[in-house]
A and B are shown apart, each in its own frame.
Chain A
């Protein structure tokens, strides 16, 4: 089983739609959680950290469910510029300095 699993998509949605991605992780000792965004042929960049209480950044909302070991990302009022691959990222445990990346979920927002 992969450490971090995501639905690869693609999710094709019209502009203005609300779309949600989920991600599951296998290591219950994971401490840090993130969503990264990767545009086509570009490097990943941090979109937002995910906090236990949930957090929002404009149109983006991230939530963490430790009991079920999943993380979600909700995008409201989708824009064409939101088209990208969204990577779910966790750190495995406190002793491991490196992050583990999911394979990503591709979002295509259509006009």
Chain B
């Protein structure tokens, strides 16, 4: 069974703090993704990575950065958290091309106060 885990289910941070969200997958998938999900807006892609140390911007990368030092781990970094980054953050991984199933982690509910 594919497993994607995220470091926290719930996180509360203050405005201006640096925030790290960690994601780990155990199926040797090449591709990993970070999304945020907001009511009425659906899932929006922040960043994705198709190999170690490789990354590409998604649709809403502003205010975020990522790191992929090992194949199984993909980190999302909020350099200076702001209240408009309060959201549900979902990590996903997938093997091969976009025709394959994408597996999601359970999500991290981040609140920035």
Hey, which bits of chain A sit against chain B, CB under 8 A? Answer: 8, 31-32, 34, 42-46, 49, 87, 91, 96-104
CB within 8 A of B98: which of A45, A87, A96, A101? Answer: A96
* Closest 4 pairs (CB-CB, A-B): A103-B42, A91-B98, A43-B104, A101-B43
Q: Number of contacting residues on B, CB 8 A?
A: 22
- Asked whether, in the complex, the Cβ of A103 is within 8 Å of the Cβ of B106, the reply is no
From residue B87, how far is it (CB to closest CB) to chain A in Å? 14
Complex interface residues of chain B between 15 and 65 (CB less than 8 A to chain A)? 31, 33, 35, 40-43, 45, 48, 50, 56, 58
* CB of B8 within 8 Å of the partner chain: no
- Asked whether, in the complex, the Cβ of B58 is within 8 Å of the Cβ of A44, the reply is no
B-side contacts of A103, CB under 8 Å: 40-42
From residue B107, how far is it (CB to closest CB) to chain A in Å? 6
CB within 8 A of B97: which of A97, A100, A102? Answer: A97
